């Protein structure tokens, strides 16, 4: 008797339909995952105000509007770079700030939303790049790899200040145009193609956003290296022919890079130094490389500032996943492509970062970990490629999920000071106006430069108390003093000064009384007063200063 049930042909048709629906759903899952994770992590920062260097940019743009005009000011930035004494040539970032100021004024929430949107666009482009690199296999596999790459990039706690701090918009723009350049380059068919011209434009814009745009060429080299290893045509026509073709296609990008270095040489006199304290590279000295590698290993623990640490569990799990990728790269061509592109991109970014790391403390180049995080997220996403063993797949996916959870918790912990600093800074201008309006004499406002590691008032002392942040100019009544300037300020003016200190928990200034350096033990007495007034962030920053600045 014939058994009842679904015919074999119908079961195959149903499974094919289900697989097609799953593939379609996974392809559309990427943008929803990117938006959901970004808002879950950085949604709290949208309510914060401007911080630190943000005020300097706003003040500069406002001065342009009052004097020579925004167009003339931007033209000078594109021609001469940022006029702050540093070797920073980032005209595209300043152009973005100028556009935001013209559209939104000093509504910081709108500025932050724009920067978060650019970060989400970078994550989406990274996921699409990972998907393109594994094309040729099952469609669902490419969609899954793209989602994992974008998720790991958003969750990586290497440099959250790039998204939480408006002044670092250059890093976001550099990565965005680097990824756009890669997509346009892959879409092009030759040097006469409009997509190829678009890739050259994106390369130039990445360099104009920030110095980390130099790594864009490394990403293109990684793409060609993957084609050289995996392209079957290379075995028939010769690998040297592929190398010559790669050099021919990369030559315009190399010309743009050399032109950028020549421009920096003309403007600053040094094409490689970014900050005044950037040490000179000494690649022939073994001690220099040993010091750089030791510092790099330390920076993997506190990648952005000393308070932002990658937990050891995150490092060891990432290392285990990377070892699994290396082991499986011998048999899977798609995995080799991901590993080659992400590895060459990440190693080049790390090599470019090394000369800009100080042997002691934090440096400008440490925010380059934002692009390094994107490169190594691309590498780690290869671990999600399914294997034939179901047990191995379950173990790998469990490890990826555990890593994602640990990254999420760690990044929430790192972002907490930035959320507190942003909310506290929103109350600061109103408090300055209140103190200045109630008193006649000039008052000293002791203000922390950082709040638990997050930038607060450093580099912003003059701009906070002047337009366009304040409706009325109050600089003749109050003076902001950060911990680094306390000893020098009071010793230069030993007369008693009415002094206030910023209390982060209450988001207001607490009156400390009159402080004078004429008293022999004035400094220990001031520290006791700060501790009693609850100004712990100012006191902590003061104690962390080098000994000559405190004594």
Distance (Å, whole) CA 539 – CA 480? 15
Chain segment 360-381, per-residue pLDDT in tens: 444 444 576 788 888 888 888 8
Nearest C-alpha neighbor of 325 from the set 343, 310, 312, 313: 343
> Percentage of the chain with pLDDT > 90?
11
pLDDT bucket at 18, cuts 50 / 70 / 90: very low
Distance (Å, whole) CA 507 – CA 431? 8
Burial class (CB in 10 A: 0-12, 13-18, 19+), 455: buried
pLDDT bucket at 287, cuts 50 / 70 / 90: low
Q: Which of 52-61, 205-214, 444-453, 487-496 has the lowest average pLDDT?
A: 487-496
Nearest C-alpha neighbor of 314 from the set 328, 300, 325: 300
Whether 213 and 261 have beta carbons less than 8 Å apart is answered as no
Chain segment 486-519, per-residue pLDDT in tens: 888 888 777 888 888 988 888 888 888 888 887 7
Report cis status (omega within 30 of 0) of the bond before 468.
Answer: yes
pTM: 0.85
Q: Count the residues in the chain.
A: 551
Query: Between 412 and 322, whose confidence is greater?
Result: 412
- Two tokens at 339? 């590993």
Burial class (CB in 10 A: 0-12, 13-18, 19+), 393: middle
pLDDT bucket at 17, cuts 50 / 70 / 90: low
**pLDDT number for residue 363:** 43
Q: How many CB atoms lie within 10 A of CB 358?
A: 15
Query: Between 58 and 65, whose confidence is greater?
Result: 58
| In the predicted structure, residue 260 carries a pLDDT above the cut 90 | no
Region for residue 459 given its phi and psi (left: phi exceeds 0; alpha: psi -120 to 50; beta: otherwise):
left
Q: Per DSSP, what are the bridge partners of residue 503?
A: 508
Chain segment 325-364, per-residue pLDDT in tens: 777 766 777 777 788 888 888 888 777 776 665 444 444 4
- Two tokens at 515? 């402080």
**pLDDT number for residue 276:** 47
Distance (Å, whole) CA 62 – CA 537? 31
pLDDT bucket at 156, cuts 50 / 70 / 90: confident
Task: Tell me the pLDDT of the chain averaged across its residues.
Answer: 77
| In the predicted structure, residue 90 carries a pLDDT above the cut 90 | no
| 236-245, 288-297, 485-494: range with highest mean pLDDT | 485-494
108-133 vs 369-380: helix axis angle to the nearest 10? Answer: 40
**pLDDT number for residue 303:** 38
**pLDDT number for residue 257:** 86
| 33-42, 74-83, 319-328, 535-544: range with highest mean pLDDT | 33-42
E-strand stretches of 431-496: 443-446, 450-451, 454-455, 478-481
């Amino acid at each position: 008797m014939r058994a009842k049930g679904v015919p074999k042909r119908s079961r195959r048709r149903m499974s094919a339909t289900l697989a097609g629906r799953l593939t379609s759903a996974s392809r559309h899952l990427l943008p929803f995952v990117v938006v959901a994770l970004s808002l879950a992590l950085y949604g709290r920062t949208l309510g914060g105000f401007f911080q630190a260097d943000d005020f300097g940019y706003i003040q500069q743009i406002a001065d342009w509007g009052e004097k020579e005009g925004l167009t003339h000011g931007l033209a000078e930035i594109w021609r001469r770079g940022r006029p702050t004494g540093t070797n920073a040539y980032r005209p595209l970032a300043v152009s973005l700030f100028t556009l935001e100021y013209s559209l939104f004024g000093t509504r910081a929430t709108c500025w932050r939303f724009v920067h978060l949107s650019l970060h989400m666009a970078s994550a989406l482009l990274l996921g699409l790049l990972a998907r393109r690199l594994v094309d040729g296999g099952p469609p669902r596999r490419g969609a899954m790899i793209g989602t994992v790459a974008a998720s790991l990039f958003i969750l990586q706690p290497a440099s959250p200040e790039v998204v939480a701090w408006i002044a670092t918009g250059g890093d976001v723009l550099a990565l965005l145009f680097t990824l756009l350049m890669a997509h346009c380059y892959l879409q092009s068919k030759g040097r006469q193609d409009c997509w190829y011209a678009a890739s050259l434009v994106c390369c130039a814009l990445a360099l104009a956003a920030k110095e980390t745009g130099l790594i864009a060429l490394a990403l293109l080299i990684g793409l060609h290296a993957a084609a050289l290893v995996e392209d079957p045509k290379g075995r028939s026509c010769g690998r040297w022919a592929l190398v010559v073709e790669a050099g021919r296609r990369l030559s315009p990008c190399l010309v743009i890079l050399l032109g950028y270095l020549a421009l920096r040489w003309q403007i600053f006199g040094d094409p490689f130094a970014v900050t005044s304290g950037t040490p000179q590279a000494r690649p022939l000295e073994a001690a220099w490389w040993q010091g750089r590698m030791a510092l790099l290993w330390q920076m993997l623990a506190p990648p952005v500032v000393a308070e932002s640490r990658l937990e050891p569990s995150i490092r060891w799990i990432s290392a285990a996943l990377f070892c699994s990728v290396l082991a499986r790269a011998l048999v899977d061509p798609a995995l080799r492509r991901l590993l080659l592109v992400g590895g060459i991109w990440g190693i080049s970014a790390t090599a470019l970062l090394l000369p800009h790391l100080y042997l002691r403390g934090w440096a400008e180049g440490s925010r380059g970990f934002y692009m390094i995080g994107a490169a190594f997220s691309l590498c780690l996403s290869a671990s999600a490629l399914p294997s034939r063993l179901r047990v191995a797949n379950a173990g790998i996916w469990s490890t990826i999920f555990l890593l994602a959870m640990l990254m999420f918790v760690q990044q929430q912990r790192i972002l907490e000071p930035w959320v507190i600093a942003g909310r506290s800074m929103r109350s600061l201008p109103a408090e300055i106006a209140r103190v200045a309006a109630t008193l006649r004499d000039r008052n000293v406002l002791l203000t922390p430069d950082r709040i638990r590691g997050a930038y607060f008032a450093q580099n912003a002392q003059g701009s906070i108390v002047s337009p366009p942040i304040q409706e009325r100019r109050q600089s003749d009544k109050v003076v902001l003093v950060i911990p680094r300037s306390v000893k020098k300020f009071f010793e230069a003016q030993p007369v008693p000064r009415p002094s206030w200190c910023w209390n982060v928990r209450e988001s207001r200034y607490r009156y400390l009384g009159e402080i004078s350096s004429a008293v022999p033990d004035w400094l220990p007495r001031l520290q006791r007063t700060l501790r009693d007034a609850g100004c712990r962030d100012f006191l902590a920053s003061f104690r962390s200063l080098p000994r000559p600045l405190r004594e």
